[in-house]
Structure 1
Amino acid sequence: MFDHLRKYAAVYVVAISGLLLTCLSSWNVRQELQSNHLKEFQWAAADRIQSVRAVVEQGLDTLLEIRGLFYAARSIDDDEFLVFTESILKRRSYIERLMWVPLSAAPALLESPTASDGRTPVVPSGSNAPRTMSARSDHQPATPAAFSAARTGSGTAQRAAPAADSELAEVIARAAQTGKLAVSGRTRLDPARPGAGYAIYAALPVFGPADASAGSSATAEKGASLLGFVVGAYDLQELVHVAINLLEPRGVEVLVRDDSAVGDARLLHFYASRLESRTARSDSGLLPEGGDEQSQVAVRIPVGDRHWSITCVATDTFRSAEAFTEAHWLVLFGGLACTVLLCLYLVRSRRELENRIRLTQTIYEREELFRQLAETVDVVFWATNAEATRLEYIGPAFRHLTGQGVRLESSELSLMLDVFRPADGRALHAALEQLRSNGGRFTIVLPVERGDRGLRWLRVCGFPVREPGCELSRIVGFFEDITEHKLAEDALRDSEEKLRTLFNHSPDLIFTVDSQADILLTNRPLPFPIGTGGEKRSELVLPANVRIGYRDRLQQVFASGCVDHFQFARDDATWWEVRMVPISSASEVMAAMVVLTDVTENRKLQWQAIRNARLASLGVLSAGVAHEINNPNHAILANASLLARIWRDALPILAEYEEEQGDFLLAGLSFHQASQVIERGMTEIGDNAKRIRKIVNNLKHLGKEDRGQMDEVADVGKILRAVARLLAARIRKHTDAFSLALPDSLPAVKGNVQQLEQVFINVIVNALESLPERSRSVRVSAAADDQGKRITVRVEDQGQGIAEDVITQIGEPFFTTKGDSGGTGLGLSISSSIIEKHGGVLRFESRENEGTTVCIELPVIKED
């Protein structure tokens, strides 16, 4: 019993240790899975709450769009209102009705029903009542009549009579009293249908043009002219479904409640998970049965003048991103299985070792048989004693193998070692010593010089021979001439290594395919999965929209034996060229080699060359246009100056005539008025002609050929002033708050003046185009650092800002967010490369909806 335990002690230790470690690992995995499950539910719930919040805000912003329509147009009729709202109803499927209720029509709407709290709403009257179409004045637009657009079955808008119920009356009354956006509680979409869904109303007051910015109760109290209300009806079920359907089903139920309401009216909508077979709803606004036991996340959001609460509950089928929800059981059973297998392996290894010991007992009995066998083959067998000091046997073929006159009767070990070069002999002796020390076998390949046959290669193998007591009794082995195999192997290895080096280091993706488009050989791991049948389908490396065309072209290559190629674009904006080359054997195409080359850079260079050519053409054209404008402008300047002098000379004569004859008319004006008009007109003609001359000079300067010289001395302040004059019209178009803050003098920089102008124009134009309204500002400033080594130009705007996922790509060629308006994505890329050539840095700092700051740092000219 004791011997048995000692023999299998390792097995027992492994079994006990494996059991303990497996249980501990299973418990740890279970705890981690539960923690990750809760975190993933919180992330999923946050996504759904944010989605509902975003859709609600989009729906309420629709009322702001319609109010903007009334502010932008002097008058709106029924057809225009229907056209405008139809596009909104198509984009917002959860909006059932959009109405315009003028204040003149509001009393009838508000007085007929009674509000849900039992009060009769009151509409402001008196001096703030809107004027009708007939009472239209120059200061206030006429109030349009009541309009209403309702959704049809196809989603388009149709005219409809303005709806009226208690919730609508109450929300309009609250909007009139507060001057803010008001939202109603839950109401039926169609009260006549018992099974109809629920909706809410939202009312936005619209004030007169003088108070277009009004929207608060403080403005209403000061006597703002209230024109009416923009009212929207929102289907709660469709609103929540639109928000949630944008997300992947995860097994999360959403309960939307109105905290501003009481009783059953608190419940707005309950969204059941798409992964649940049941449909759980609660008319009381409470969570479904059993919901309190599940993980929950609740958030309260403002909706107009009300507050909603959104509660997300994880169902039993909540889907997380975990690979295995029962992974702790897998770890437990897997660990136990591995422990059992390891124990079985150790038991089997022990038994095999015992069998090997028994087998060594038969080696001595068969030694004579092996000796006879060694005498008859070309392989030279040899044997030494256990100490590797005496050669016990060497086959007679050794003399033929080495080609030397050796004495096989000698028992010296040097007989076997001296046939090799000294270094190779020492290597063989070291292998023998290593075999004696660790008992392992060895195989080495050594060269041997043979006079008549030249250099030969011998493979020397050695094996230990042990007695039943596990003691080394002798060392045996053999010599084998592998010269032909060695030479062939070396040649094949060199050829294969060269070919594989070329094949693997190719920047292209290369693979061969058969007639079924299955891959036979490739130079790198493929970026697509293996087909369902075990084959590697080559079309999966291509986008889905080009796979059919690729298969057709590949079939043509196999049929015609001609090379074919085409190009395609991926979703990541990269361009690839596919070349298909047939591999023929005799007259039959056996396979085809397909080469995928990334040609994005080539196409970018082509597009950039085209862009540069267009810009050069525009520069030449602007210079020509400037020249053509200069000629008539010179005539205007000369004639304006001449006419001004003539008028000054004629003015005393006309004044004397007035004193003698009395006042007289010139072009329907009195002499005094005409003299002022003519004097002012002459001055304006001259000033505007000079302004035209400045603009023309700027255009001619912009169109000047850029020879790419970087040794010009550039005055950054002068360049910025010229750019501001050149962009004056665009600045007036986008903003009323443009400022240029420059010191009296700045250190000079060395570079290309025209390229720096191009950079400043690109940056300022981008800042202007980012402004959402004219009241936002753009500020351009320049200053030198304290050491006077660098100049920093800052362009700060109050625009829409740049998203975090976009700001990392804005310097890449051909990346643009203004593709719909003709943007090429080359402006900032070219600007960045220009600043780098000047030894400067172009940096961006931006926050969404707050603005962007562009910093351009340039080194000043070093003083010798």
Structure 2
Amino acid sequence: MGEALHSISGLLKRLISPDRHLVTLLVLVLGVVASFAAWRMMDRQLALYHQVEFNWVAQNRNRIFQRGITSAVDAIQLSGNFVENAEVLDLVRLRSFYQKLLFDHPWLSSLSWLPEKGVAVSVEGEADLQSGAIQESLQRARTLRRMTASFQLSRYGEGNAVKVYIVVPVLSPHLFVGDRSSDGSSLLGLVVGTIDISQLANLSISILEPRGVEFLLQDMTIPHEPQFLDFYASRLGSAHHEGVMATNWQEWRRRQTLYLSEYFQVADRVWSITCAATPQFRSAEGFSHAPSAALLVGLLLTFVTTYFFYWTRRSLIERTALYEELAKSETTLRVFFEQSPDTILIVDRDGLVRAINRELPILGEKNRISSPATGKHFVSILPQELLDVCQSAVGMVLQTGQPQQFSHQVGKFYWWEVRIAPIRRENHLIETMVLFTNVSERRTLELKALRNARLASMGTLAAGIAHEINNPNNAVTFNVSLLKRSWHDALEVLQDYHQTVREFSLAGVPFHRAVEAIPRLLSGISNGAERISKIIESLKALARDDMGSMGHFVDVGEVVRAAVTLLEHQVKRHTDHFTVKIDGGATEDGLLLVWGNFQQLEQVVINLVMNALFALPERSKAVWLQADCVDGMVRIMVEDEGCGIDPNVQPFVFDPFFTTRSDRGGTGLGLSLVQEIVTNHRGSIQLYSKPGEGAQFTILLPLDRVEEGRPRAPRARSVRAHGNERSGHV
């Protein structure tokens, strides 16, 4: 026994040692706390179940008693209705009807008809009409002309039975004109019914099995002055409570037990029934000791678990000391392995991953490869795009022992260079090392260089085309002005001739119509030539070699107008509703000036508007282009009524090579270039879109002012949209 106590003492000392066994002590404390919490919760749940079951039992008794009272009151009211609706009152029929009501309601001990004029009729005994309780009820019924109940219950008989008087006034609007009340009705008489409360309680309660519930009956018409009516003890031996009376019911109410009170209307009075559980009330007998049993079991399991945890932790501490030296030697090698800029997989001859140095971010979070991949087949952790080619290359390395290298595109954003090398041990090939190098940025730079070269070629071609078109267009412009002057000079001669000859034709057109049509035709030719000149100027501006220069003031309004001129053909192909609004009213000089590059900003507007046009499902949908000033920032906003952008796609729209129009020639560089240009101009771009509701791109650029010594970008020729320079529809 002494050795056992010594062992327990030693265990407790080791448990409370804070340096090595704090976790074990924490397990013990948490287990004890959890056991007591479970005991407390089960005890409260059991008490709640007792309360719920008691409420159910008490409500059953209350409802049966209330239904008995209600049916008796309804019978008394019915007897009054019988008299009120009778054209000629037949006392024999009245007595027979009263007897039928008394037979149907055994707890209705008597019914009396007290006419204002005539002979009274009583069945099953006359009520004590001289008692103060009934006199007071009679007087109130006569005065109020409504059903009343006696204030106090009357006790009678050897068993101290209890009865209550219900008085129902019988009114008639056709008789006794001199005794009419304020509502125009006359009092024919009073019906007095006597309800035997004791008999009703006994009949009602006897229907239910005894459960150890007793109840107190009170008059709560005046809430702060409750009046004792009667008390009914349980049938399960609570005889010591049968003496509860009007003088001591408060003591019964202060007992520590379960209570339930309900209120109901009796004539013009409000009664309450308060049920209380006696010591004989039983509920959930089979679970009464469950909380204590749960506490004991919880404490036992806690001590067993703590003991097991202590010895397990002691064993782990000893093993940890053995592994520390091995871990130190492994750390150095792993540092080199994990610090490599490439993602490295070690794959054995069975294709299982033996090691991996970092995550491989391919196609977002859902396809990432991380350390839990160790031990899995390498095929199961690669994306589908790399699956076949990597499996074939690894098999080739294991078969030939020669390294393999290839580049492969994964998804829309990533290019990976994959190198596979054999790992030999004692001249035996046992594993392969697979290295993944992300070359997406390099590929992006290569494609950007290719794109810039294509743009340069397009710029040279555009400049040549503009020059070739400009020469004949200048001739058209010169000749049409000459034709206008010639027509003006010839018009007077033709008009004189017309007055002489009366009527003649020019090119088959009557002179009076030609006078109106020819000036219109010449103006159309002139406007067309001017429009060609504007397009040529825009092409020349787009083809300039200063795409990288950021040393000019640029009017964003002019940028928008120039872009709209170049896009007019595309706009007409895609939509009937294209709105352009330029508002510089919020600035001092009315100009939307920023410091940057005209051609780059023009490219931004063109790309955004083209994307908006391509997103339209039909020509009836609209596109809005707006430039204005908000809070000291120049705002460019492009909005469309297209199909919108999926929320899962929105985080990638500015990534290089991302496109949803690859089948229609999309390269995925448009929005990437837009973001780069906006960032270079110290601005920001935001996207707001919901699927099916279109998309809105908003660009904010810092507003600038013209200062001495700072150059301004060459003005593009003003572009008007239907004659309105500030806003219009194209």
**Which structure has the greater CA radius of gyration?**
2
If the length of structure 2 is used for normalisation, what is the TM-score? Answer: 0.50
If the length of structure 1 is used for normalisation, what is the TM-score? Answer: 0.42
Q: Which has the higher contact order (CA 8 A, sep 6+)?
A: 2
